[in-house]
Amino acid sequence: MLKNRVIVLLAVLMLVVVPFVGVQAQDQTIVEIAAGNPDFSTLVSLVQAAGLAETLSGEGPFTVFAPTNEAFAALDPSIVAFLAANPDVLTRVLTYHVLPAEVMAADAMGMMEATGVATVEGSELMVMGGEGVTVDGVAVTAADIDASNGVIHVIGAVLIPPVELPEVNPLAVTGDVIAAGSSTVAPLTQAAIDAFINAGFAGSITNDSIGTGAGFERFCEAGETDISNASRPIRDSEREACAALATPRTPIEFFVGIDALTVVVNPANDFATNLTLQNLLDIYSAKVTMWSEIDASWPAETIQVFSPGSDSGTFDYFLERTLENDDLVGFFEEAEQAEAAIQAVPGIQFSEDDNVLVQGVAGNEFAIGYFGFAFFAENAGILKAVSIEGIEPNEQSAEDGSYPLARPLFIYSDAAILQAKPQVAAFINFYIQNDNDLVSQVDYFPVSERTVRLNSVLLLANS
């Protein structure tokens, strides 16, 4: 059985080396088709690292889902290095891309619900059809490359089998953990902290809610925190600051939840039930200052504008989706122009504390504000959420991306920290293993199973 798996794996992985265009695949085996396509050189090198390069036979039929070089490049580099250094794990990952039967795209198109299909690795891939074929949520980008012993489908991301992290016993963990950053991510991290302490951890964990930008300053410039909560991806300039520390840091990104940035008004506001991104741009750049300027039937009352402060990742994301959005009229070409425009809105009130924004909107019939969905859910009795482009913020619209202001949530750490402070690695391990349960507790939305597995591999690769 193991020999057959290895053979399949090799065939699968080596499939990646021959240009598909112009090849009479039906006259060649998967291995022969794989003879020289440079788009799959990373896959080939990993096959060699797994010690499988000499095992190139197999009768089939097999179905191979082949990731391109770009798919591997999208992974954190530490994951690829970890796989190359751990042949057993590498073999599991690679054989997870192989089915021990021939499955054509047409076979999958009728699967309108995700259906488990056994892989050579032993776990099940979730295959789904419809408008296009996906495996574990990853799209097939080129299908039905026929070979004499099976079929090849090209995919745009690397698939990850179920990953088991080491068991964490909070009772046995000691030391301190310091987290700071996004006020949006803070409730999720705090839920993880509370659960970790309730499970027996007796050490010290701090979780300062200071905004994403300020959090990265403490992580990358002061070098004083272990975890940086963030409601936006880290910027290149922040990575450079981390690298310039006396003890350089290489930020590791864990994707821990999905938020629907929620635009809110006062419950007495019975007219602004739906706004467009263009409306938001106009309000937050002072192109309009009265509700009646958006719709003549609305009150001729001044719009009282509330916003998170400029250190907030929520502020950055809002600007990117509205004032810096080149699909909108009135687009600001530079981020500085967009920030200046919002700062110049007459009477605008900023706060890094989302609770201040909640109270501000709740206390003014003609106010508007925005923050993470969790803070709206916590205060739904005194606020009203506004649909954006006709779509309500909720779990389904956030997860499928149809809600225009859906966004990912992150925590960041560093390999040297994880290795020097095992309590940080233990806490993040606990966080990842319980993430989707924790997310639901704080009214954010869960990440996919594939993301949970990627987080797990990333932690294994760096701790």
Pairwise CA distance, residues 262 & 459, whole Å: 31
Pairwise CA distance, residues 225 & 199, whole Å: 23
Which domains are assigned to the chain? 2-155 (2.30.180.10), 170-256+410-462 (3.40.190.10), 262-392 (3.40.190.10)
Q: What percent of the chain has pLDDT over 90?
A: 55
Residue 339: per-residue pLDDT = 82
DSSP category for residue 38:
G
Mean pLDDT of 250-260: 94
Q: Determine how many CB atoms are found less than 10 A away from the CB of residue 270.
A: 10
Is residue 368's pLDDT more than 80? yes
Pairwise CA distance, residues 16 & 453, whole Å: 24
Q: What is the secondary structure of 205-235 as a DSSP string?
A: EEEEE--HHHHHIIIIIS---SEEEESSPPP
CA angle 94-98-104, nearest 5°? 145
Which pair of structure tokens corresponds to residue 145? 């490359």
- The answer to whether 177 and 419 are in contact (CB under 8 A) is no
Residue 325: per-residue pLDDT = 66
Is residue 8's pLDDT more than 70? no
Is residue 126's pLDDT more than 90? yes
- The answer to whether 426 and 173 are in contact (CB under 8 A) is yes
Pairwise CA distance, residues 30 & 46, whole Å: 17
Buried b (16+ CB within 10 A) or exposed e, 359-398: ebbbebebbbbbbbbbbbbbbeeebbbbbbeebbbebebb
CA angle 388-390-394, nearest 5°? 65
Query: What amino acid is encoded at 325 in this protein?
Result: N
Mean pLDDT of 156-160: 93
How far is residue 181 CA from its own chain's centroid?
Answer: 17
Residue 31: per-residue pLDDT = 59
Mean pLDDT of 217-244: 96
CB within 8 A of 378, min separation 6: which ones? 443
Residue 180: per-residue pLDDT = 97
Is residue 18's pLDDT more than 60? no
